[in-house]
């Protein structure tokens, strides 16, 4: 009699734990789905600032890219993963250079799902090269179009007073001056802008050259 009572008690306890674990797992799935949707909406719908912080693009660019990977790249949503989440996961991985385990925890997905959808999105992005990349037109040797020229910046070592060394120190620790030079197709210098500190970015130097009254003139394309 006692043995029967013990067996019944063990069976009841086992069934109770099974039902409890089943409910807990179901609750966890709902929680993961709720948090997943919250994170996705925050990244792509809250504001352009938040979208750029997470994905490095604004909301409009995200929507345009979403249409391109769908219509041109052939990317499609799965049974359990929408297209927005696939693209957001891909961009988030590239933007923050995170490992699979970190992405899996952030998006509440398994590592296998994250990896599979990342590669699927990557293949779709690669199919956009004809749309996103413009093939350059070769320049013939007898070309006399003045619009064709080459520009580049170079670092020239300088000696400056100690109080100004911080401005002239490059990221490699060398004291130098950032000089912009522009050459014509005949390999002749047509513009030179010296004087900028070595710590100045090339874009800043180019912007200064274009904005000057007698600065660099960039012809408009036809």
Which has the closest alpha carbon to 91: 127, 52, 130? 52
pLDDT of residue 177: 92
The pLDDT of residue 58 is above 90: yes
CA gap 56, 39 in Å, rounded: 16
Calculate the CA 36 to chain-centre distance. 21
- Higher pLDDT among residues 24 and 90, named by residue: 90
> What's the farthest any 2 CA atoms get from each other in the chain?
108
The pLDDT of residue 62 is above 90: yes
pLDDT digits (tens, 9 = 90+) for 158-203: 888 888 888 888 888 889 999 999 887 777 888 899 989 988 888 8
Task: Kindly report the pTM of this predicted structure.
Answer: 0.55
Asked whether the CA dihedral 100, 104, 110, 115 is positive or negative, the reply is negative
- Which segment of 61-65, 109-113, 148-152, 153-157 scores lowest on mean pLDDT? 148-152
Paired tokens of 128 = 């956009």
pLDDT of residue 59: 93
pLDDT digits (tens, 9 = 90+) for 80-139: 899 999 999 999 998 888 888 888 888 888 889 999 999 999 999 999 988 887 776 666
The pLDDT of residue 7 is above 70: no
Reported confidence tier of residue 34, pLDDT bands at 50, 70, 90: confident
What angle is formed at CA 64 by the lines to CA 63 and CA 66, rounded to 5 degrees? 60
What is the β-pairing status of strands 176-183 and 150-157? antiparallel
């Amino acid at each position: 009699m006692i043995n029967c009572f013990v067996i019944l008690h063990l069976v009841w306890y086992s069934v109770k734990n099974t039902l409890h674990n089943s409910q807990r797992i179901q609750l966890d799935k709902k929680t993961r789905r709720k948090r997943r949707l919250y994170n996705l909406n925050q990244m792509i719908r809250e504001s352009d600032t938040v979208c750029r912080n997470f994905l490095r693009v604004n909301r409009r660019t995200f929507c345009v890219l979403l249409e391109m990977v769908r219509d041109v790249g052939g990317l499609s949503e799965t049974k359990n993963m929408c297209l927005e989440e696939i693209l957001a996961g891909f961009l988030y991985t590239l933007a923050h250079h995170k490992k699979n385990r970190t992405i899996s925890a952030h998006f509440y997905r398994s590592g296998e799902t994250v990896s599979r959808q990342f590669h699927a999105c990557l293949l779709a992005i690669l199919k956009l090269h004809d749309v996103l990349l413009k093939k350059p037109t070769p320049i013939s040797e007898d070309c006399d179009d003045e619009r064709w020229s080459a520009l580049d910046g170079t670092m020239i070592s300088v000696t400056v007073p100690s109080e100004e060394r911080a401005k002239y120190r490059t990221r490699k620790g060398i004291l130098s001056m950032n000089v912009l030079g522009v050459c014509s197709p005949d390999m002749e210098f047509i513009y030179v802008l010296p004087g900028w500190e070595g710590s100045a970015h090339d874009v800043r130097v180019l912007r200064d050259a274009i904005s000057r009254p007698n600065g660099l003139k960039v012809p408009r394309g036809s």
